[in-house]
A = this chain, B = another copy of it.
């Protein structure tokens, strides 16, 4: 049993049913799916399930819904999503004395995360559209910037949003990050875009993605405008080398944690220890399995054909700014295919 509600979002409900939001989903061992959505007309149009029951029937109470639904269907053993808060699990256990509840980290959620990590043909099709739109946006922004446009971070971010929506995107993948030279040193500048200028001398980071039918791209390009200091030159060379080094290792049976560890060590030795992971899976969420990160458990599954991950090395310095390059990469039977064309955009001084 899993749920997708405000404060407890879970894209697996959409993955399994097509229903995009606000619902409780009970999957029976028999194979039947019971959806309890807030918005019934939306579910009737979109959900591929055997049964739809309005959440309002239970006063929109999870405990009440389960009390009425589970015993009546003879469901006596239930695994709960690992995302459920501790007090909620305790409350459900009290409300359902006849039902055996389980809630664990290596259970259903993890199983589905592994399924979701390998994209099927329809998912790849949606991701390819998202990536292709992303490239169109990168090019449109790059052309304007090369033509002398010096937008504020906000103007640039909203330009992308307008372009994405005009092309039919469902939304941006996440809040666009546009950080000009004065703010690009931060991992995630706050707020993500401001009235500061973008694209002037130094490094300006643009991190964005496009959501198409729920599937999300994620790229970062860095605008580089000279004159650069010796340190900035070294940063540019370092991130370029780290990117190539990472990409060359992306193929079936590679260990994502091992790739991350290799690049971490390279960047550390170059004098720019990386404050974030090297990459992550993308799909219905902008961040999902597999993770190319050393802070994850060692037992990460090996890369497999059909996985789509970001590769996004970055180097940062409080004075020199930050530079990051990120593309989306599909693991193929023989190696990989880079789905996006983000790059370092070098501009005239």
Show the binding face of A for B, using Cβ within 8 Å: 6-7, 9, 20-22, 38-39, 41-42, 56, 59-61, 80, 82-89, 91, 103-105, 154, 158, 161-162, 165-166, 168, 170-171, 175, 185-188, 190-191, 193, 195, 275, 287, 294-295, 318
Contacts and interface: CB of A to CB of B under 8 A. Distances in A.
16 contacts: A39-B188, A41-B185, A59-B295, A60-B295, A61-B295, A82-B85, A82-B86, A83-B85, A84-B85, A86-B88, A86-B103, A87-B104, A91-B105, A154-B165, A158-B165, A171-B175
**Considering residues A38, A191, A193, A294, which has the most beta carbons from chain B within 10 angstroms of its beta carbon?**
A191
Contacts of A162: 158
A162 B154 CA distance: 8
A168 B195 contact: yes
Nearest to A20: B190
A318 B41 contact: yes
Contacts of A83: 7, 85
B190 A21 contact: yes
A233 B186 CA distance: 54
Contacts of A103: 86-87
